[in-house]
Chains A and B, each alone.
Chain A
Amino acid sequence: MQKLIEVRNLNIAYGSPAGWTNVVQGVSFEIARGEAFGLVGESGCGKSTVAYRLLGYGTVNSLVQTGEVLFDGTDLLKLDAKSLRRMRGNRIALVPQNPTTSLSPGMRVGSQIREMIATHKALPPGMSMQARIAELFALVGLPDVGHRYPHELSGGQQQRVTIAMAVACNPDLLVLDEPTTGLDVTTQRQIIQLLGDLRSRIGMAMLYVTHDLALLAQIADRVGVMYAGQLVEVAPCDQLLAAPAHPYSRGLIASIPTVAGTERQARGLRGVLRRDQMSTGCKFEPRCDFASAACRSTPQVLEPVAETRTVACMKWRESAVPETPAVKPRLDAKATAKPERLLSIADLDLTYRKPGLFDKLLGRTSPSVVRDIDLELRAGEVVALVGESGSGKSTIARAISGRLPPRAGLISLDGGLLDPALKSRSVEQLRQIQYIFQNPDVSLNPRRRIRAILERPLDHFGIKADVKTLEGVLENVGLHAGYLDRFPEQLSGGERQRIAIARALLVNPKLLICDEILSALDVSVQARIVELLRSLKEKHAVAMLFISHDLAVVQQLADRVAVLYRGELMQLAETETLLAAPLHPYTEMLLEAAPGLSKDHYVSRPPAMPASKPVPGIGCPLAGRCPRQVGSVCAETRPPVQATGSGFIRCHVPVEKLATRAAPPVEKRPAAVV
């Protein structure tokens, strides 16, 4: 195939007052016309830096030391600003990571696309601007939303707009910088589906930058794995996933949680990417399981090992040997005697708006964000709360923790009723429930040392502690006493999250609320935090309410799963049962959307009755989106609760019918390759 773009020996350094740091070293790859090339690696490995250079773009403090980026024969790095401007958007276009911040908030999305076409004079002959914009919207599966402002669109729709904008000039190359990272699983899959579809229709090449190998499996032809600024392996996607040759690729793949890989207990990556701890030889040596003395001193370069495959590791033969998956039988901790109930929630109803005086007089009620939640947690049990964003997962957690007094419903902990307001709860109750937040960057006070952060709760709850206590808890979460005198900004994201976990554990809580605590972290770090949580669960018998949008993570940790959609519990079931037989149509949708480690040709099932909108507060919220809607009854009446073996589902369709029809799509999916 003909080369479209070729990167040759690219070296990029970032300048800082301390001097130059080499961020990208000797990266070379090429993308053929119409090919989708994936670039994958942990955060900080330089993948975005490389991607932006394909647009001839670099930040002010970056310097290209050597290298060429040949696009159709011209070196982009030598072009002047004017020719670059002509090139960007027109022939090479970018789909940015976060559509919310990359669309101009004060401008209608139609005008933003018009701007793109007008700048490059890329209107196809004999076509009006309006028609072209409508055509672009149709191309990305949107109705004509040109007159809307970005904030009127959902995250998925916004990303579709940025994609429409990127393909507006029919570019030869599309650079995608983590385009689905902020999106829900189902939306993510639709975007991936859309991109695959666009590629076959327009025939453009793609550079897809991501940290998520499972996603690349769905879309990329070839994948380059980057580590510490170097490409360590380039291989066709299916080959890489089936038999990774480089130890790093191997670890990266092992770290990915997939719904199918329940029994897989392969070894993930240890350590984190630290640029200050590089050996002169192989960059990966400090974290590599196959490392020898020679690795430390001999720099590794990409060597072809097969026709279409290159690896930068001299021990690739050893590491490519498929490891016999050590089948660790999951310890069934389920004791015959059921432990006592710890937390129970009954008829919980939440709203964000406080009713005003007029509303009270007129008897108006504001819409509920969360309705009719009944949930219970036993001591030492992990219950996962799963749903798309906006489904009310965190809202429930806020109510349990006392930050949002519920409109109706009772929450009791350990037999005692919890007061709705935080202020009237007893100190003891506050201690027993600990909350871990999503983003450790903002849940630790940046101006306090770790020691002060950890000592404060002890002080507050009057728990006697000596030096050993802090060291002990740090050890528990896999850190050491050296961290006590550091500030949060000196820690990596994963380390910060560990500190947040340590802070919660320090006061011996009975219930941990983990609010999306993994979503801000790298895959390899995620895998280790999950491992940590699992060991804590066994050691301390602490119950957890684990909130997540990712079913794959949940199945590694949770005993039971509660599926939430638009503020209503759709299903509650034991994890294994839920994965084996999802029953509820929404759970099924979620499971199908979760990407596996092989191409699964996912096609979202069309809703049965897209026009039927649920009656607010009464009908099933899934009506109109549900592929198995039985009729207008779904939209108009409240679905009944049907008991299943280990829990319940809330659906109009009888359980037996759901069970029989669930079979075909599951069989169609090939099992994930280990």
Chain B
Amino acid sequence: MSTITSSPAKRFAGFDAARWRATPGPFKVGAIILLAHALFAIIGVFWTPYGFAEMGAGLPLSGASWQHPMGLDQIGRDVFSRFMHGAHIVLLLAFAGTILGMVAGTALGLLSGYIGGWFDEITQRIVEAMISIPFLALALVMIIAAGPALAGEPVLIVFVVGLVYAPRIARIARAAAMEIATREYVAVAELRGEGTWSIVWREILPNAANVLLVEFSLRLSYAPILIGALGFLGFGIRPPTPEWGLMISENRNLLIASPVTVFGPGLGLASLVIGFNLFTDGLSRMLGQRAVAGA
């Protein structure tokens, strides 16, 4: 029975109360956490209680207080100010890196899945080789290969995140494309004599969109961890720019003297990752729940 449920105009309408109630719980919690992070990051760009690189904002290692909620580090910088300023760096790097990985991985994966044959074979062997290397090792190799001139540049971090993720995304995209390529609307386009790009862009991509969207937000939730790990190991953003992983690394000696200086950025990172994860979980449930014919 095909009942017509909603008009297309209504389907893309804004957020209303009924819609909000119908969304799954994890999605709501995740969305709220992410929204808080975004607000925090925006404020951090324009205003912080102290300068993020301002030394001697207070007595070093004096612990948490109302003036310095996350304490002060070894050279007397206010950790909370650094934390606030660092928020947008983490978010921007994560987004830029994941988007880069997404574009590269999706293009490669969809083409590989649709074209098949030797192109698919070669692409998949390369992808498998890249996936078999642990992602942190791969990232370090790339950073070292880039040389000292680029080390610590945000552009390099974005590229590293993108390249680490691209093969993983490519596999998902390929699986989706292979399935969609058997659909008859693709055959119709082929019979029309459409080019490969046109078919991938017009026929396959729109139908792979919900799979890719979930994959995107999943990768996005891992990106802060990767960036943080790189920062912690000293391969990330160049100091004194306050990236959260770098801050944890800088302050790890103070874990006993003033633990709050490590916990602050650590909690920030954790809540961001949890927020992304919940959001993804809810999103995939919502997309999976909707019976989309042909996707």
Taking CB atoms and an 8 Å cut-off, the chain B residues in 180-198 that contact chain A are 183-185, 187-194
A44→B207 CA distance, assembly (Å):
27
B294 touches A (CB below 8 Å): yes
- Chain A residues 444-462 with CB under 8 Å of chain B are 444-449, 456-457, 460-461
Contact with A442, one of B209, B292, B294 (Cβ below 8 angstroms): B294
10 A-B residue pairs with CB within 8 Å: A275-B3, A403-B191, A422-B193, A439-B184, A441-B293, A443-B185, A445-B202, A445-B206, A489-B293, A490-B4
B256 contacts A by Cβ under 8 Å: no
Shortest distance from the beta carbon of B209 to any chain A beta carbon, whole Å: 7
Give the residue of B192, B194, B202, B293 whose beta carbon is less than 8 angstroms from that of A488.
B293
Q: Mark A617-647, 1 if CB is under 8 A from B, else 0.
A: 0000000000000000000000000000000
Q: Are A446 and B292 in contact (CB under 8 A)?
A: yes
With contacts A17-B22, A460-B192 known, is A446 near B184, CB below 8 A?
Answer: no
For residue B193, which residues in chain A have a CB less than 8 angstroms away from its CB?
422, 425, 427, 430, 460
**Which of A445, A485, A490, A503 has the largest count of B CB atoms less than 10 A from its CB?**
A445
Q: Which residues of A412-426 have CB atoms within 8 Å of chain B's CB atoms?
A: 422, 425
A548 to B1, CA, bound (A): 25
- Residue of A275, A422, A489 near B191 (CB, 8 A) is A422
A402 contacts B by Cβ under 8 Å: yes
Contact A449-B1, Cβ < 8 Å, known A403-B191, A441-B293: no
Task: Please determine whether B191 and A430 come into contact, CB atoms closer than 8 angstroms.
Answer: yes
Q: Which residues of B contact A456 (CB under 8 A)?
A: 189, 192, 202
* A445 CA to B206 CA, complexed, in Å: 9
Q: Are A403 and B8 within 8 A (Cβ)?
A: no
Q: Which of B8, B22, B184 contacts A443 (CB 8 A)?
A: B184
Q: In the complex, are the beta carbons of A492 and B206 less than 8 A apart?
A: no
Are A487 and B185 in touch, CB under 8 angstroms?
no
Which of B5, B8, B294 is the one whose CB lies under 8 Å from A445? B294
B3 touches A276 (CB 8 A): yes
Chain A residues proximal to chain B, CB less than 8 Å: 17-18, 21, 23, 43-44, 275-276, 401-403, 422, 425, 427, 430, 433-435, 437, 439, 441-449, 456-457, 460-461, 485-493, 503
B190 close to A21 (CB less than 8 A): no
Q: Which of B4, B191, B292 counts the most chain A CB atoms within 10 A?
A: B191
Is B184 a contact partner of A437 (Cβ separation < 8 A)?
A: yes
CA distance A43 to B2 in the complex (A): 10
Tell me whether A485 and B5 are in contact in the complex, defined as CB-CB below 8 angstroms, given that A422-B191, A437-B188, A442-B184 are known contacts: no
Among residues of B, the one whose C-beta sits closest to the C-beta of A486 is B8
Q: Among B4, B183, B184, B185, point to the contact of A276 (Cβ < 8 A).
A: B4
Cβ A449 vs Cβ B191 within 8 A? no
Q: Contact at A437–B203, with CB atoms within 8 Å?
A: no
B contact residues around A275 at 8 Å (CB):
1, 3
From the candidates B8, B183, B187, name the one contacting A485 in the complex (CB within 8 A): B8
Residue B122 at the chain A interface, CB threshold 8 Å? no
A18 to B18, CA, bound (A): 11
CB distance from B185 to the nearest CB of A (A): 4
B144 CB within 8 Å of chain A:
no
Instruction: List chain A residues, Cβ under 8 A from B233.
Output: none
- Complex formed: what's the CA distance from A447 to B293 in Å? 9
Instruction: For A441, give its contact among B189, B202, B294 (CB under 8 Å).
Output: B294
Which chain A positions have C-beta within 8 A of B5? Answer: 18
Q: Contact between B206 and A447 (Cβ–Cβ < 8 Å)?
A: yes
> How many residues of B are counted as interface, with CB atoms below 8 angstroms from the partner's CB atoms?
27
Q: Mark B159-199, 1 if CB is under 8 A from A, else 0.
A: 00000000000000000000000011101111111100000
B190 partner residues in chain A, CB cutoff 8 A: 403, 422
Q: Smallest CB-CB separation from B193: which chain A residue?
A: A430
On chain A, the residues within 8 Å of B187 by CB distance are 403, 435, 437, 443
Which of B192, B202, B203, B207 has the most chain A CB within a 10 Å cutoff?
A: B192
CA distance A554 to B152 in the complex (A): 73
B295 at the interface (CB under 8 A from A): yes
Taken residue by residue from 1 to 23, chain B's Cβ proximity to chain A (1 for < 8 Å, 0 otherwise) reads as 11111001000000000000010
Cβ of B194: which chain A residues have Cβ within 8 Å of it? 460
Residues of B within 8 A of A441 (CB): 293-294
Other A-B pairs beyond A276-B3, A422-B193, 19, CB < 8 Å: A275-B1, A401-B191, A425-B193, A430-B191, A433-B191, A435-B187, A437-B187, A442-B183, A442-B184, A442-B185, A442-B294, A443-B187, A444-B185, A445-B206, A446-B295, A447-B207, A447-B209, A460-B193, A490-B8
Given contacts A401-B191, A442-B294, A443-B188, contact A44 B206 (CB under 8 A): no
A433 to B, closest residue via Cβ: B191
Residues on A with C-beta less than 8 A from B185 are 442-445
- For B207, what are the chain A residues with a Cβ–Cβ distance below 8 Å? 445-447
Q: CA separation between A276 and B202, bound complex, in Å?
A: 33
Complex Cα distance A491/B5, Å?
A: 11
For the complex, give the distance between the alpha carbons of A435 and B183 in Å.
14
Chain B: minimal CB distance from A343 (Å): 16
CB-CB nearest in chain B for A461: B192
**CB-based nearest A residue for B198:** A460
9 interchain residue pairs of minimum CB distance: A44-B1, A447-B206, A446-B294, A443-B184, A445-B185, A430-B193, A437-B184, A442-B184, A446-B293
Nearest-Cβ distance from residue B183 to partner chain A, whole angstroms = 5
In the complex, residue of chain A having the shortest beta-carbon distance to the beta carbon of B2: A492
Which residues of chain A are within 8 angstroms of B295 by Cβ–Cβ distance? 446-447
List of A residues within 8 angstroms of B202 by Cβ: 445, 448, 456
Q: Judging by beta carbons under 8 Å apart, are A457 and B206 in contact?
A: no
| CB nearest neighbor in A for B190 | A422
State in angstroms the CA–CA spacing of A439 and B22 once bound together: 33
B124 CB to nearest chain A CB (Å): 21
A487, B207: Cα distance in complex, Å = 13
B8 near A487 (CB under 8 angstroms)? yes
Are B188 and A402 closer than 8 Å at their CB atoms? no
Interchain nearest-CB distance for A600 vs B (Å)? 33
Which A residues are CB-close (under 8 A) to B22? 17
User: B188: which A residues are within 8 A, CB to CB?
Assistant: 435, 437, 443, 503
Q: Which of A433, A434, A435 has the most CB of B within 10 A?
A: A435
Task: List residues of chain A with CB within 8 A of the CB of B4.
Answer: 276, 490
Q: How far is the CB of B200 from chain A (nearest CB, A)?
A: 13
Chain B residues in 8 Å Cβ range of A485: 8
Q: A430-B191, A442-B184, A442-B294 in contact; A448/B8 too (CB < 8 A)?
A: no
CB-nearest residue of chain B relative to A495?
B2
Q: Which A residues are CB-close (under 8 A) to B8?
A: 449, 485-487, 490
Closest chain B CB from A536 CB (angstroms): 19
Q: A430-B192, A447-B207, A449-B8 are in contact. Are A44 and B184 (CB under 8 A)?
A: no
CB distance from B193 to the nearest CB of A (A): 4
Point out the residues of chain B lying under 8 angstroms from A448, CB to CB: 202, 206
Residues of chain B with a CB closer than 8 A to A21's CB: 3
Chain B residues with Cβ below 8 Å from A492 are: 2
Question: In the complex where A402-B191, A443-B184 touch, is A43 in contact with B206 (Cβ < 8 A)?
Answer: no
- Quote the shortest CB–CB distance from B238 to chain A (angstroms): 44
For A276, what are the chain B residues with a Cβ–Cβ distance below 8 Å?
Answer: 3-4
- Give A442 to B5 CA distance when docked, in angstroms: 20
Interface string of B216-228 (1 = CB under 8 A from A): 0000000000000
B195: min CB distance to chain A, Å: 10
Q: How far is the CB of A535 from chain B (nearest CB, A)?
A: 23
Q: Which interface residue of B5, B184, B194, B206 has the most chain A CB atoms within 10 A? A: B184
Q: How far is the CB of A440 from chain B (nearest CB, A)?
A: 9
B192 pairs with A457, CB closer than 8 A:
yes
With the chains together, A490 CA to B190 CA distance in Å? 25
Q: What separation, in Å, do the CA atoms of A441 and B3 have in the docked complex?
A: 15
Contact B203–A445 (Cβ < 8 Å): yes
CB distance from A484 to the nearest CB of B (A): 11
Q: Which residues of A contact B3 (CB under 8 A)?
A: 21, 275-276
A456 to B188, CA, bound (A): 11
Q: What separation, in Å, do the CA atoms of A401 and B292 have in the docked complex?
A: 30
A433 to B188, CA, bound (A): 11
Residue among A403, A441, A442, A449 with max Cβ neighbours from chain B (10 Å): A442
